[in-house]
């Protein structure tokens, strides 16, 4: 199993640092965020160390996604929020705070004023088309 001795999430998986787990299976762990943005803020991680989305093997990503769905469903029933946001960041520019792939499940309430929402502003069609063409080239 991939392990980074300097990674706080790896230390949690290894039992070196305590956490408040809510779900665990053979390959994933869900635990409460100790710096919650709102009540019920939960993290989902693969037990193996993968720094970001680009490194996580597809099968591990699928397992994290399945756990995230399971935990989000439980949060929805237990805490009855108005909605739930999944947040996943990669790299410093996206404010990834721990370099171990993880998904935040954030219960939302109407008017909570969290800044992860954005206004819908029409984009420039030429710029949108250009970005799409560049992405398609990379996918071929």
Query: What positions carry a catalytic annotation?
Result: 102
Q: Name every residue whose Cβ is closer than 8 Å to that of residue 101 and which is 6 or more positions away in sequence.
A: 45, 46, 50, 51, 52, 53, 55, 56, 64, 88
> Do the Cβ atoms of 58 and 6 come closer than 8 Å?
no
Q: How far apart are CA 30 and CA 114, in angstroms?
A: 22
Backbone torsions φ then ψ of 86, nearest 5 degrees: -100, 130
């Amino acid at each position: 199993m991939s392990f980074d001795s300097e990674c706080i999430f790896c230390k949690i998986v290894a039992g070196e640092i305590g956490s408040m787990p809510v779900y665990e299976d053979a390959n994933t762990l869900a635990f409460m965020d100790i710096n919650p943005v709102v009540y019920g803020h939960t993290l989902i991680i693969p037990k193996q160390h993968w720094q970001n989305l680009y490194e996580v093997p597809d099968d591990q990503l699928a397992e994290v996604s399945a756990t995230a769905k399971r935990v989000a469903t439980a949060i929805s029933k237990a805490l009855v929020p108005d909605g739930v946001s999944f947040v996943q960041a990669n790299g410093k520019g996206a404010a990834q705070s721990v370099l171990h792939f993880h998904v935040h499940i954030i219960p939302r309430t109407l008017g909570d004023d969290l800044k992860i929402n954005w206004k819908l502003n029409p984009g420039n069609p030429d710029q949108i088309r250009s970005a799409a063409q560049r992405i398609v080239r990379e996918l071929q």
